[in-house]
Structure 1
């Protein structure tokens, strides 16, 4: 018996040793291919501070690496949006064979898109980064791809014809790049596509291939498309088509459908017999039709020439009668348009209709469009651009004169560029007070002693025509509120677009909260409530009083300016349409609402969320995104939001400089408003009118 026990013990030891030798050392839970891919990605991202991540080994699924989700040992989701990541994507992503969702949006990633992607991925979001070059990635191999978003990068060149196999794709966003050339023919085969964003590129050719797609949302604005808008797409808003060269005249009728003869030898013989038996009849019919078309065209041409001749002599007679009244050197800043210039202005009125009316409401007949542009309406047209004025004046200088825009009672001053150069010492660096998203702002002193801020819109030179710039001036000059920066004038001359505002001398809220400026003021708790309330009132005016409502999409502490009394003045209102191509930092992106960063939705609720981030800055004294902090605290919203309902945590979050002067009741209610504004679902956020009421109550505590 004793011998059997010893023998069994030895056998057990030998079996255990053999089993370990066969199985080898213990393996990590996560699939080794996924571990390798994430290690390589970590290295290509310049080894960022991501919780758990490593460039060598590790166990992403069991160690819960940040932004990684798994199903068993397989990585299925990778979400590192808005993490301030730099570097590129590397060349190992194809090893993530079970990955379903890849989201690296709203970072600072660069390089090209010529990479291998996870073969079974269903959703890809690489938007709002800094990718450059041509789109060389072969997306056609991603048979399961459902959503693709590579918008708001710096991609260029023509799109490869690679979409024929993407039968499952429903959402495709290529907007806000520099892509060019015609749309690839394989677009026509995207049978499941219901959302397509192509705006703000340089695409050419027609959009006819999109007519048969099941599109419910389409945006092709601000490209170089030509031809006609297919009738199947005319139920979409006209704003989705502006900024192209679509024809406003009716499209030519489609060719008559051909009826092919049945195949077969007998029918082929019959066809030959038919054409050979009656050639004279076919030619006679053709000539008869040609004569009819020629007669009709000739008659129409004769009528047009007759009308033109009559108009020519009538206009000549009127011009002779009005020569003394309208001098050729007269300035065009006035609101009266001479009758001898009516025809030319009528034509420009026709060309501008597609920017002011729904495309489907345009009349196909030119005469009806001319009738809509009668002379009585010309008094409301904006003045021609300044360079045209200088041509008419034959080089002589013209004085600054006032010009009202549209129905607004505000008068925007027209400045010469020479006056603004003199005021700013030729835009000297020592007068530079702000380098913002839309251009540099310089402090200037006019000859009458007035101090102004001059915004030089360098970027808009490549995007705006002079008419569009004057439309922008007309729009922003109507904002009349004590908490909104006032536009006092503009200049468009020699290719320069400049805006002149009243000068606010105490820097921005961002600089007063987060920098060490010598002239910055320490903001007390009551100052911060006052700033929040004034900003909320400005937003209430834009969202609930202005018609139509104005959406900013760029609200931040950078564009809230403080005067000497620390009253806020909201700047850069009306620029939302020109935000899309800009280089936006992670700190700016941290103000953006989830529905804006993920789907590009423009809603007033976007600005309510951004206002909540500004209030969070006022409460904590922290930046919206601070890359110098530990990774859990870099994003202000992600760090602070879970603690807003805990009064003890709230006290620890409070800016130390106001801890002693901030009443707990006031602080708690302030945090309650922030919690409501930062709701992930837009419909649960309060209106700005409600926010104003809440802040007024806090101010009275």
Structure 2
């Protein structure tokens, strides 16, 4: 009786087991956890098959996911229109080999924790910022890595000791600086290295023993001689660096002073020396007396000819130098005369022959799109050639009509005053590039902006049109340009320095209570910023749209006078390109940008007015335009504040509690009314900036009286 029962139980058990899915049919939980976190960090983009929580990526066909049995081995989402960030859980992938997120819009930093099993890592052409992580040293299996086309900054980490399997490395088109790390000498398998279009410095000796077949170091700041071994690399591109490759002019070889024997092919044979027979034997002996005299005569003649040739070359060289000097003096005097005869002409034209030698294009003044009011007597001062080599750069820039106050700086001079663009000299990492503090030999301070990423690749003519347009923007509340650098393919702008403190810093990071802004100071800041926009919108013809106006663009000096930075930088860029410059582009889009820009890429003066309204909200509330640390309903300042601006009780609760001194309710109410009109969703309902200037001017004048009444 027991036998059939046991048989039946075993049979049923086998049937149940045979119908259960095999245990390997489920994705490794560690990989599921990692990919769920990655999906959240990317902002839950619409990827086929992907779900926010759980799921079975290996057996549900998630787009771009490749597996071996139950483990994810590759995620390939090249050109998938991804945004967001990469998150901090990539190291949870158990056996991943390939990560490819190239050609997207991913921002933020490269995660510090990376999967140690990774062999291929591709993040090219995104919007990544920050530095390359030191944890790179743990990726001992890495064979191919591309981080090109981002906004990465800082020095390349000294983390290559264990990366002996690395074959291809591309770090080009970033903002990397400093020398190549010594550990690069350990890359015993490296055949391809691309680091072009950065700001790398130093020498190349660390690369000379690597098995390189393709090396591109163009458009950097490398110096010193090029190691001879590198010249044997089949594909070696090095243009756009200040290498010490000057070749000395060939010197005239003097004949030897001692009577050493001379080659037979050089000295003529005297007639009596020897005569060969047809069988090659000598039939006449050499007369030592005759031979000695002929040999001495040859030496004398050689010395005389050499000396004459040397004197001739020296005289020719001196005459050429004298001729060039006269030519330069004549041109300098000619320019001075023309400038003296035209007192209202603030432009000069550079020598044509240098322009032709460089084969670059000339800027057409009619194409710049800027006409401005003439500078007042209190206008900007000219910065002369206070830096060695400052005005001696030979490039096609010298054929461009630029204001006489704009100096053409050399790369070497800017390196000198910024300590080779060291991180210690960085003031801020702006929308358009990294800004350094430079100090000239006379003590004058400058802001030096190295244009980054796409703007660093701007064609030469387009870059000079940009320089010309910015140089013509002359207003007390606009940061004024004093120079530029186009040497070795660089794209650098030099401004006057008024201080490194921005309005953003003053409102959100100022710890010293004595430096907190009073209500009257905030009114003055708002008025100054409005006047700057009024100049751009209504004085410049055609109008100049800022496109990236925010509290980080408003610089404060010690007297709380304001200067708006980055004016005119968007003038030659398409609005599609503008959104790709900063790693914080998405935060800006949802905090400062006008609503209509989500449907249209057309920036207008009214989109600037909206951004100005957001800045006024920051001044009123002391809150950031976007603050992810706050509750969800309060993260976006405009959404949170717009419904409270007309409720006086809610409005007073909204006012920044750190405001120093007293203020009147009426003044706050008027300020809120201006904000409300500026942040209207419909662009047609927003006021022109000139109306805002009028209203703020009346407020500033009335504020003391209103305070006394209260």
TM-score (norm 2): 0.47
TM-score (norm 1): 0.48
Structure index of larger Rg: 2
